[in-house]
Amino acid sequence: MLFSWIFIQLILQIPIFFCDFISFNISKCYYIITEDFHRKGDVVIGAFFPIHTYYTMNKIPHSYLPYYYMDNYLQYNFKNYKYILALIFAIEEINENPNLLPNISLGFDFYNVRFTEKDTLMNAFIWLTAHRKKYIVPNYNCEKRYFTAALTGTSWTISAQIGTIFQLFKFPQLSFGPYDPILSDPNQYSSLYQMVPKSSSLSLGIVSLVVHFRWSWVGLILPDDHKGNKILLEFRNEMERKGICIAFVKMIPATWTSHLNKFWKNMDDTNVVIIYGDTDSLEGLMRNIGQRLLTWKVWVMNVEPRVTDSADYFILDSFHGSLIFTHHYTERLEFMNFIQTVNPYKYPEDIYLPKLWHLFFKCSFSDIGCQLLNNCQVNASLDLLPHHILDVSMSDESTSIYNAVYAVAHSLHEMRLQQVQMQPYENGEKIVFFPWQLNSFLKDIEVREKMNLDGRQKLNAEYDILNIWNLPKGLGKKVKIGSFSANAPQGQQLSLTEEMIQWPEEFSEIPQSVCSESCGHGFRKVTQEGNAVCCYKCTPCADNEISNETDADQCVKCPESHYANTEKNHCLQKAVSFLAYEDPLGMALASIALCSSTLTTFVIGIFVKHRGTPVVKANNQALSFILLITLTFCFLCSLTFIGQPNKDTCILQQTTFGVAFTVALATVLAKAITVVIAFKATFPGRMVTWLMVSKAPNYIIPICTLIQVVFCGIWMAISPPFIDQDVHSEHGHIILFCNKGSSVAFHCVLGYLCFLALGGYMMAFLSRTLPNTFNESKFLSFSLLVFFCVWVTFLPVYHSTKGKYMVAMEIFSILASSTALLGFIFGPKCYIILLRPDENTFNYIRDKMHSRRNKSHKI
């Protein structure tokens, strides 16, 4: 472990030692450079590119960086040298093409563009007036040349500044920087042509990438100008449509300073930051990001970071793992072959190649004239340079410059053909024209569009997505990991190879960038008032609701036939449930009913066997047998409430219950009336004697039963019971039960039974003072009192229970009331018959009555 740490420290020091060595051997010629260089040609194209920069401060050299001063007195941006390479490559291709501009050679005048408007306008004016030692007046010198058009960029400000002069002369100007709507204003820039087409799909592509990785909380850094405001509106619209929130918006000031610490506030709120702008407007920002080593951010950009400072010589890099959107273009093998042939001896007019060869390939300058000597490394080539110094692959700007040169060439070619048709040239005569004449041909090419002529590449709405591999620092690889095409079908616009992506050092997997943690299955989002929609809290779904997706806005209610599982992420089919015989409760109630009916049958057998005894014959023997048989049916009718209900059992339940209990209560009422009549009949002249003789109490049973049958008939005709489902009483179950149909009818039947019970109780209560030997009125009254209490208690309990427990409650009331009638009326008689047979004789009754009379005489 200790050895590994020492090794890492030594590796970190190597770049410093190496750079100190280079700095010590740099020649003073490295810091001497002109502002322009030129290549001869019959027709000349002006090129205004920002390659190096002067700053008017004291020259304080950096401690170890070879081409960087602490006060930035002179700084080369060799990354932009690829613009010159693309220009030379296109010109040489055209000059070697016999079918395009035959007998006419293209040349160029290069002018370095500084960041001050004064220097930029001065270079443009010098070129327009051909204010050079060798050429005093344009088109009037020993080497006659024609100026055609100017290439300007990379920022819109440079093109706009130069355009103010060129517009006065209608001089053609082709801008290779990012598209800008201001430069498309024909009233201000009628002769300016933008090589990059207008495309509104970039914001859509970036937002699609953000959606793909589920980044819902991102930051925006944009230039503080009209383009920044426009793209901000586009981003807001796209993100709002896709449900993405903006954590912050940072507008880059026009003058960037490293002291804007407040600019970096709230930067830690998100892991993903979108940076949009052009190379020039983002230069200060990129430098500041590189210096801060922000290795925990995923930068999504539309331009490649171009930072050439101390960050380039450390292992860590702020931009490692960044994602870049670039216009799609086909890589040209010819361009790579051309790069390998470029050297300062082949192009002696070039002012930058000697600097590169001296700096990286150990070439020396002569002491006089700063001429590069031929003592360089063998096989020196630009493609050997580190990518962070010079990336020779075709970029957006390189492709635009290549296309611009071809656009000028084709315009000249068409103009020459038109001139030949109107007036043929004499032998050896070159093309003659004014620059403003090219405008009509350039506009025709722009309309035919868009850069689809032979030999040129086309920029369209398709973007390549590049991933920066820059660990260790200096690797500088840009790997294509996907693409975005706005013209592709919906859902197929974005294509990614996630396995190839290298993320920043802080992340071992796909980074997360959310304001709130995702709500899992079984939860839903609840937006907090005053916060963005992406900042929310998670709350569990309500009962019987589920969510089976992440970050659900609403939970979905399960159908009535289903219920939510414990995790509330799936609806399960409810099991059909009813009071079955297999249930412990149903089994217990059925057993009680069968046992009670068996007991009643046993009592009937006892009474049949002892039907001649006084106890059985007393109080109307026939009514006792009717009551016992009816009670048997009362016990058995409870079985219709157990088991899976159907239409027949639902109707049978209520009718058998109502009729059976009506017969039982009517019989008890008849017995009570019989007792009263029996004792009142001993008084002569009473009407009760006729009632006793005519057996009038026996008619009570059919009359009362008929009334109940009428009630039940009306009930069944109007609103009969039916099968119903209770899906709420028991979780996870659908309770099948018999709905009463008409609640009024059910309560009328039950009220009629209570009325009979109350009437029988009153009659039995009236006969309570009669002699005890033949009087069962006390037992009748007590049994009816229990019956009445059971059913009065039943009503509130019945309405407060649900499901099969409601059915069980009704069965229990039936069994309890039937048991009360059986036990209190026939229990004492069975006790005498079975356990006290000596008291069940006529002699015992006669002696008991005789002793009672003697006691009354003595009193």
Structure tokens at 555: 């939970």
With H, G, I as helix, E, B as strand and everything else as coil, classify residue 769: coil
Q: How many CA atoms lie within 13 A of 830 on its CB side?
A: 18
- The pLDDT score that the predictor gives to residue 260 is 67
Give the whole-angstrom CA distance, residue 506 versus residue 535: 24
- Please write the tens of the pLDDT for every residue from 227-256: 888 889 999 999 999 889 999 999 887 666
Structure tokens at 41: 């040609």
What is the arithmetic mean of pLDDT over 7-18?
Answer: 39
- Please write the tens of the pLDDT for every residue from 333-371: 889 899 999 999 899 999 999 988 988 888 888 877 788
Give the whole-angstrom CA distance, residue 827 versus residue 839: 15
Strands (E), 229-354: 245-252, 272-275, 298-301, 323-327
- The pLDDT score that the predictor gives to residue 456 is 43
Residue 268 has pLDDT above 60, yes or no: yes
Q: How confident is the model at residue 451 (pLDDT cuts 50, 70, 90)?
A: very low
Pick from 393, 471, 409: nearest CA to 441:
409
Give the whole-angstrom CA distance, residue 90 versus residue 404: 9
Of 13-17, 841-845, 846-850, which has the strongest mean pLDDT? 841-845
Q: How confident is the model at residue 577 (pLDDT cuts 50, 70, 90)?
A: confident
Residue 858 has pLDDT above 70, yes or no: no
The whole-model pTM stands at 0.64
Q: How confident is the model at residue 546 (pLDDT cuts 50, 70, 90)?
A: very high
Q: How confident is the model at residue 291 (pLDDT cuts 50, 70, 90)?
A: confident
By the 10 Å C-beta count (0-12 exposed, 13-18 middle, 19+ buried), 401 is classed as: buried
Better-predicted residue by pLDDT, 66 or 326: 326
Give the whole-angstrom CA distance, residue 209 versus residue 33: 44
Sign of CA dihedral 615, 619, 620, 622: negative
Pick from 395, 239, 222: nearest CA to 325:
395
Pick from 713, 704, 722: nearest CA to 745:
713
Q: Which long-range contacts (CB under 8 A, 24 or more apart) does 34-37 make?
A: 34/351, 35/111, 35/112, 35/123, 36/109, 36/110, 36/111, 36/112, 36/123, 37/110, 37/349, 37/350, 37/351
Q: Please give the single-letter amino acid code of residue 807.
A: V
Assess contact for 777 and 771: CB atoms under 8 A: no
Residue 847 has pLDDT above 80, yes or no: no
Residue 191 has pLDDT above 80, yes or no: yes
Q: Please give the single-letter amino acid code of residue 690.
A: W
Give the whole-angstrom CA distance, residue 80 versus residue 565: 63
SS3 content of the chain, % helix, strand, coil (to 5): 45, 15, 40
Q: What is the DSSP letter of 587?
A: H
Read off φ and ψ for residue 52, nearest 5 degrees.
Answer: -135, 160
Sign of CA dihedral 643, 647, 649, 654: positive
- The pLDDT score that the predictor gives to residue 206 is 93
Assess contact for 466 and 478: CB atoms under 8 A: yes
Structure tokens at 605: 């057998």
Give the whole-angstrom CA distance, residue 662 versus residue 764: 17
- Please write the tens of the pLDDT for every residue from 479-498: 899 999 988 888 889 999 99
Average pLDDT over the chain reads: 80
Give the whole-angstrom CA distance, residue 803 versus residue 729: 6
Over the range 830-841, which residues count as b (16 or more CB within 10 Å of their CB) and which as e? Answer: bebbeeeeebbe
Residue 138 has pLDDT above 50, yes or no: no
Give the whole-angstrom CA distance, residue 466 versus residue 478: 6
Q: Tokens 């670039």 label which residue?
A: 326
